[in-house]
Amino acid sequence: MSYISNDRPQPDQVLVDIANYVLQYEIKSDLALQTAHYCFLDTIGCGLEALSYPACTKLLGPIIPGTIVPHGAKVPGTSFQLDPVQAAFNIGTLVRWLDFNDTWLAAEWGHPSDNLGAILAVADWTSRTAIAAGKPAVKMQAVLEAMVMAHEIQGVLALENAFNKVGLDHVLLVKVASTAVAGRLLGLTHEEIINALSLAFVDGQSLRTYRHAPNTGSRKSWAAGDATSRAVRLALIAQTGEMGYPSVLTAPIWGFYDVSFKGKPFQFQRGYESYVMENVLFKISFPAEFHAQTAVEAAMTIHHQLQEVGKTVEDIKNITIRTHEAAIRIIDKKGPLHNPADRDHAMQYMVAIPLLFGRLTASDYEDTVASDSRIDSLRDKMNCVEDPQFTADYHDPEKRAIANALTVSFQDGSSLPEVIVEYPIGHRRRRDEGIPKLIQKYKINLNRVYAAKQQAQLLDSTLNFETFRNLSVHELMDRLSVPYPAS
């Protein structure tokens, strides 16, 4: 008979490496910090737009109605002031609701700015608590650094490890990254951060059920908020001195690898620096699942070409969408689409809307638009096919392309030239083109919530990088609150 040793092992190296990174690494990349600034503006703007949707706002606020937490964290665009755990859920849910914030594509996919829910909640709360104790406020520079680190942890773990292939949702990585950076902001020790990370991995993890047919649903819009709030809770638990589980990943039978990852250890392409933030993909023009962004751009071009050649969508016989493997696996959908969450993860739907209307907005996923019978008629004419080169370019770290190509054939036997878009406007290779549009998107989203004077004050506070990074977190969060402070 063999016996399992009860000697306490050293912590798994994956946990140690993350703790070392958040406590010891210095963010020296100006590009990463400046990109984090744009990421912040865009992420907050996405949350402000989500306030227009009752399906989102019904989930917001304190658990017990009317609760206000002294020195608590505020929720942008609202009057809520909450404990940091519930504030993280609120902020995380807002920024993810419309599937319009940034994206990272690799073996695993995800949206690293989801971590802003935890980062802002903890930074605002700790800043207010510090001021109340006569200590210095937390500056937005600390938020930017935490954003770079959260992006890096989530993104580097995603490069070689496909959690989707074992049925787990990518918000697992949000929870892990948020736990680490929340620990940094809370001042946890090296041992406490390792303990907190072990608690994040020992948790039961979210299944991808709510992202896929036939169960696609709105939990995918609040799953990241749930993950960030859990991360803050676990960091706070570790801060009390609660023990961790050092071989949470590698323990035979009971560890994460054996239970949840088919016995395989994580693989790593690179160490933790600032690569992910520097190369992150912004969703600028369309609230569409990112594997379809270039397809939507191509469809917009074809919409105008149809007008130029005197054709309509009724003249179309078929549409071939040449794409990459990940797109086919996630968003190639036939048959009925049951709700907005189902539609914004359907390649054919996201192509049909711009072909018909020359646009794709968040409201185009709602039932009022989806009831147009021409949409399903167009969907039935579309066929997705994998191009192996597109798939290779998608995984190439020097390219990180997300290519789609559309070919439209007509009933009369004629066709349009194929329209190919390899890199979406939110790609690093198109930053000069994309950032002005990102700023415009931010201004549009401010206008949804704030009066003109308040918009002007926010723009003065946030658009200039040096001004922004030196702001106190709680002062900015006050300015983002509604009702707006009188000063």
Cβ atoms within 10 Å of 315's Cβ, excluding its own: 15
Nearest to 89, CA basis, from 237, 235, 227: 227
Please give the pLDDT value at position 486: 54
Confidence band, pLDDT 50/70/90 cuts, at residue 6: confident
Q: What would the mean pLDDT of 463-479 be, rounded to a whole number? A: 98
Distance from chain centroid for Cα 200: 19
Please give the pLDDT value at position 213: 83
How far apart (Å, rounded) are the C-alpha atoms in residues 147 and 478? 20
Nearest to 93, CA basis, from 200, 226, 284, 182: 226
pLDDT score of 297 more than 80: yes
* Cα radius of gyration (the chain): 23
Confidence band, pLDDT 50/70/90 cuts, at residue 395: confident
Q: What would the mean pLDDT of 468-483 be, rounded to a whole number? A: 96
pLDDT score of 309 more than 90: yes
By the 8 A CB rule, do 216 and 223 touch?
no
Q: Which residues have a Cβ under 8 Å from the Cβ of 224 and sit 6 or more positions away? A: 92, 93, 95, 96, 111, 114, 117, 171, 174
Least confident of 40-54, 108-122, 203-217, 294-308: 203-217
Q: What would the mean pLDDT of 126-133 be, rounded to a whole number? A: 98
Confidence band, pLDDT 50/70/90 cuts, at residue 126: very high
By the 8 A CB rule, do 61 and 90 touch?
yes
pLDDT score of 5 more than 80: no
How far apart (Å, rounded) are the C-alpha atoms in residues 115 and 178? 6
How far apart (Å, rounded) are the C-alpha atoms in residues 267 and 361? 38
The residue type found at 304 is H
* Alpha-carbon distances of 235 from 128, 153, 342, rounded to whole Å: 19, 16, 33
Structure tokens at 180: 């680490």
How far apart (Å, rounded) are the C-alpha atoms in residues 178 and 185? 10
Q: What would the mean pLDDT of 439-445 be, rounded to a whole number? A: 97
How far apart (Å, rounded) are the C-alpha atoms in residues 354 and 376? 13
Tell me the per-residue pLDDT of 324-348, one tens digit each, with 9 for 90 and over: 999 999 899 999 999 999 999 999 9
Tell me the per-residue pLDDT of 36-60, one tens digit each, with 9 for 90 and over: 999 999 999 999 999 999 999 999 9
Please give the pLDDT value at position 3: 63
Please give the pLDDT value at position 370: 97
How far apart (Å, rounded) are the C-alpha atoms in residues 224 and 94? 10
Tell me the per-residue pLDDT of 242-271, one tens digit each, with 9 for 90 and over: 999 999 999 999 999 999 999 999 999 999
How far apart (Å, rounded) are the C-alpha atoms in residues 293 and 422? 10
Structure tokens at 61: 């606020």
